[in-house]
Structure 1
Amino acid sequence: MAATRITLERDPSVARAIAADPSSACESDLTAAPWSFDAAPGYGPGSSSADPFPAAAPVQGEIPAEYRDASDAELHERIRAARTTLGERVVVLGHFYQRDEIVQHADYVGDSFQLARAATEHPDAEAIVFCGVHFMAETADILSGAGQNVILPHLGAGCSMADMATIDEVEECWEQLEDVLGPLDKEDEDGLVPVIPVTYMNSSAAIKGFVGRNGGIVCTSSNARTVLEWAFARGRRVLFFPDQHLGRNIAKAMGVPLGLMPMWNPRQPLGGSTAGELEDSRVILWHGFCSVHRRFTTAQIDKARAEHPGVRVIVHPECPMAVVDAADESGSTDVIRRAIEGATEPTTFAIGTEINLVQRLAAQHPQHTIFCLDPVVCPCSTMYRIHPAYLAWVLEELVAGRTVNRIGVAPDVAVPARVALDRMLAATP
């Protein structure tokens, strides 16, 4: 399904909700401007603030004071003026989890899969401004044309889940698996190789390149089952990274026993498993997770059911298995959105995903009662780093003939990564 333009009938801004009641937020620092945290390495306040931060991760430099000091109204006017001047020379993509202050300026709004497709649909645009996180901008650069520039408004908008699997760790894992399973490119009597690598979209370009070089594929939360079917048709087992919960939930739904899904901890020999456990495995799960979706619990679902009889609970498959099992449904951000849009009668929905999307859906569908399972407002730390000041800055730099915050992927990585991404785009559920 294509990414879409979303029109907001009223402003359900998470930023305003936090400002009105900072005690309801996971961190009081969420009320501060994001440039307050640019000088120090880290994900910033929000759900990922406690996650380990890679030393080599990009850090956003200070933007000019004129943007930091501008009012909200001035920033929005400057963004609109720059968009008018640039016209079709620029395309702005916005992820579902972005602030509403950003989404209102996006040409397309969607999940990472939809926006990856949108990046390929405007070959004549000189620039693609990706209001998302770093791995998404890398993917757009890989899929876009040679003459196009992909821009990430805030270089510190990374992803702690993606950072939980580094290229060095994955290559070391691959070597250890080869010691246990033999040559990993050798087919057996059934034409299957010992293991197929599958990486979630939430991973670096280097990881996607590794997967492409080793016969693997990229998946999204919307096509993960189709991708695993593709992988099982080619290999005895799957190495799935970096999100353990998505891999476990999808494989379990496909009938893979939990006992055949050992965890790979990159800080332990053989990932913390025995050679026998790896030989018997069907899916080897990487020790990674999403800090937003790990916040959801079965106790929250129990509370929602007690307080709202008949509530329809839908959660993202990055949530822990017990949460997915306790929910009525699970699915990608777009699946959640379409479920709400498709409800013909007034319905109460309890949603287990990022708060910006949940509040936006509640604003767009006032005929329903829609609330987030987590009562504490705790947005994705890195998505939250992109503020209208950064968007105004990168757009006005384009007007002036300068490109800042360009995200580029080297050809030796981009070429095999494109192979893995093309396989993903072809794996339509």
Structure 2
Amino acid sequence: MNESAAALYDRVRTVIPPAEWPVFETDIEAILALKRTRNAVILAHNYQTPEIFHCVADIVGDSLALAREATRVEAQTIVLAGVRFMAETAKLLNPQKTVLIPDLAAGCSLADSITPADVRLLRQRYPGVPVIAYVNTSADVKAEVDICCTSGNARKVVESFGASRVIMLPDEYLAKNVAAETNVEIIAWKGHCEVHERFTPADIAELREAYPDVVVLAHPECPPEVVAAADFSGSTAAMSDYVGAQRAGRIVLLTECSMSDNIAAQRPDLDFVRPCNLCPHMKRITLRNIRRALERNEHVVEVDPAVADQARRAVERMLAL
């Protein structure tokens, strides 16, 4: 194991066994070299696996953090280690740069749950009502709305209009959870995250019975009854901050599995209980296809110019708040 690889392994040794490290080492070294020669950076979502998140990513975070950081990138090439709507958002904010996604099939159940035509029908049904799109939507949908939001700033965006009611799409559970925190009436869509919708209050009850001292953190894409039964609810960034402020203890994160792994790598003093759910789309991104993306310049993300300006405006309005 050469010196640079050894230094990288120190970051993940608590979550990746030594016997598994050689499987990753060659690709990691190749990716580090390719980033230099390609003038490239890798943006990785919190749900990426530890060998990506801790060893090759230059910028990590939740959807809001990645959107903000995408505007500050100086490199000519951006590799988005995440799902397709995130890569589209990076392209919207960096129209002159090359944005790559390692696997075109890395989609999202929320983004797939709504179309531009659906948004236009909602506007007809509720004329004059502001329309907010979760970032977990396609660029085509973003182009039809007034502003975007993430789970980290949803309430702030909802209240920014000063309106008595708004439309918030496509995540029904996020909309309901935000509605419980504000006096604004929120008209919701019926989209659900296939990772978070599977958590139940019964899961939390079983956890508390098995681990009476456990602290339960739930993502706001979980059903409202799950959020109500948890000790804390917030975006992946908020959950990470919450855990970072904790002393030694037992934690469970009701979200995608790699989130716990990535925090555990930094906080070996905490005991993470892991009844997590895998996101099949996030897991389509691997070291091997990140390396291939940089070697072959694939897959280049493009946004139809006919929708790009409007979609960009919705994202930039969010970032300006």
Q: Is the pair's TM-score, using the shorter chain for normalization, greater than 0.5?
A: yes
Q: 2:191: which partner in 1?
A: 288
Contact 1:137 1:152 in 2 (8 A): yes
2:291 to 385, 392, 400: 392
Q: Which amino acid aligns with 1:296?
A: F
Contact 1:119 1:143 in 2 (8 A): yes
Q: 2:149: which partner in 1?
A: 219
Does 2:103 match 1:100? no
2:108 to 156, 159, 172: 159
Does 2:54 match 1:120? no
**Alignment RMSD:** 2.3
CA distance change for structure 1 residues 7 and 158 in 2, over 3 Å: closer, same or farther? farther
CA distance change for structure 1 residues 82 and 363 in 2, over 3 Å: closer, same or farther? same
Q: 2:178: which partner in 1?
A: 250
Q: 1:67: which partner in 2?
A: none
* 1:174 shift after superposition: 2.5
Contact 2:50 2:261 in 1 (8 A): no
CA distance change for structure 1 residues 7 and 326 in 2, over 3 Å: closer, same or farther? farther
* 1:287 shift after superposition: 0.5
CA deviation digits over 1:189-239, x for unaligned, max 9? xxxxx311011010010111111xxxx2101111111011013x1x44211
* 1:11 shift after superposition: 5.4
Q: 1:150: which partner in 2?
A: 99
CA deviation digits over 1:9-37, x for unaligned, max 9? 425259x99xxxxxxxxxxxxxxxxxxxx
1:356 to 248, 258, 270: 258
2:85 to 130, 135, 143: 135
Does 2:238 match 1:308? no
Contact 2:170 2:191 in 1 (8 A): yes
* 1:6 shift after superposition: 12
Equivalent residue of 1:370, what SS? strand
Contact 2:85 2:136 in 1 (8 A): yes
Alignment of 1:238-387 (within 5 A): 238-255=166-183, 282-343=185-246, 345-374=247-276, 378-387=277-286
Q: Which amino acid aligns with 1:84?
A: R
Contact 1:127 1:149 in 2 (8 A): yes
* 1:255 shift after superposition: 4.1
* 1:71 shift after superposition: 5.4
Q: 1:406: which partner in 2?
A: 300
Q: 1:38: which partner in 2?
A: none
- Percent sequence identity is 39
Equivalent residue of 1:106, what SS? coil
Contact 2:35 2:41 in 1 (8 A): no
Query: How many residues are matched?
Result: 311
- What is the alpha-carbon distance in structure 2 between the residues aligned to residue 8 and residue 196 of structure 1? 45
Q: 2:160: which partner in 1?
A: 230
Contact 2:14 2:268 in 1 (8 A): no
CA deviation digits over 1:92-134, x for unaligned, max 9? 1111101223222000111111011111112x32111111111
Q: Which amino acid aligns with 2:177?
A: N
Gaps of 5+ in 1: 18-69, 185-193, 257-281, 398-402
Contact 1:130 1:150 in 2 (8 A): yes
Q: Which amino acid aligns with 1:304?
A: L
- What is the alpha-carbon distance in structure 1 between the residues aligned to residue 122 and residue 10 of structure 2? 45
Q: 2:4: which partner in 1?
A: none
Contact 1:238 1:284 in 2 (8 A): yes
* 1:169 shift after superposition: 2.1
Equivalent residue of 1:8, what SS? helix
Equivalent residue of 2:272, what SS? strand
Contact 1:96 1:111 in 2 (8 A): yes
- What is the alpha-carbon distance in structure 1 between the residues aligned to residue 219 and residue 134 of structure 2? 14
* 1:308 shift after superposition: 1.7
TM-score, normalization by structure 1:
0.69
Does 2:28 match 1:76? yes
Equivalent residue of 2:143, what SS? helix
* 1:90 shift after superposition: 0.9
1:12 to 4, 9, 15: 15
TM-score, normalization by structure 2:
0.91
Contact 1:6 1:109 in 2 (8 A): no
Gaps of 5+ in 2: 1-7
- What is the alpha-carbon distance in structure 1 between the residues aligned to residue 275 and residue 92 of structure 2? 36
Q: Which amino acid aligns with 2:60?
A: V
